[in-house]
A and B are shown apart, each in its own frame.
Chain A
Amino acid sequence: DTGVSQNPRHKITKRGQNVTFRCDPISEHNRLYWYRQTLGQGPEFLTYFQNEAQLEKSRLLSDRFSAERPKGSFSTLEIQRTEQGDSAMYLCASSLAEGSPQDNEQFFGPGTRLTVL
């Protein structure tokens, strides 16, 4: 079990550019979540997948944001035409859908820190 991994760990971009982040969940986990965390705040939910299906999107996820999880494995989060307000830590988490309630425990990756200049 290698845990949840995210790449890149840091991304600096200029306003207006597009960026894409990748998340690799724990291998047997079929639920995958994206959260965003700004300085001094707790993470806020963005979207989640069960297998390859995107089941819920937060109102925080504007039209400039898109997430995919092809084949129900890794996921990507793309931000188009980045704005300075997009600067944040983007966190990915995964969990099991079936099994005991304890299996619904969400495990987080190290995050991708985005800075938009």
Chain B
Amino acid sequence: KQEVTQIPAALSVPEGENLVLNCSFTDSAIYNLQWFRQDPGKGLTSLLLIQSSQREQTSGRLNASLDKSSGRSTLYIAASQPGDSATYLCAVRPQDDYKLSFGAGTTVTVRA
């Protein structure tokens, strides 16, 4: 069974600092990995999707890397802003399945 872990559970940084969010998974036989943002009481917004054959994916200030062999992905958010405050979740899709396995998320607070 795929286990997905996100450490730390919470993070507080001053505005302008770069954010580094970690995700680890136990089974490297993945099809893809998605990073999501969730605001309090809301649904999930897809940020980036990385295929298993890719090493990284970029969108604006966001960059996600994937090291499948070591079971790790990192989401980098450059020059953080108070609007980046949210919970960030990573989710892994196995090679032989469609359902996503999620981590518990990292809650980020960016202080103005």
Is A98 an interface residue, CB under 8 A from the partner?
no
Chain B residues contacting A41 (CB-CB under 8 Å) are 104
The answer to whether A91 touches B93 (Cβ under 8 A) is no
The residue of chain B having its C-beta at the shortest distance from the C-beta of A3 within the complex is: B43
Is B43's CB under 8 angstroms from A105's CB?
no
Residue of B nearest to A105 (CB): B49
Nearest opposing residue in chain B for A102, CB measure? B49
Contact with A along B1-41 (1 / 0, CB 8 A): 00010000000000000000000000000011010100001
Of the listed stretches B58-66, B69-77, B95-103, chain A binds B95-103
CA distance A45 to B91 in the complex (A): 11
- A27-50 CB mask vs B (1 if < 8 Å, else 0) is 000010101000011111100100
> Is A22 close to B, CB under 8 A?
no
- A111 to B38: give the CA distance in the assembly, Å: 11
Q: With contacts A41-B104, A42-B4, A107-B46 known, is A31 near B98, CB below 8 A?
A: yes
C-beta contact mask, A86-99 vs B, less than 8 Å → 1, else 0?
00000101010000
CB of A9 to closest CB in B, whole Å: 9
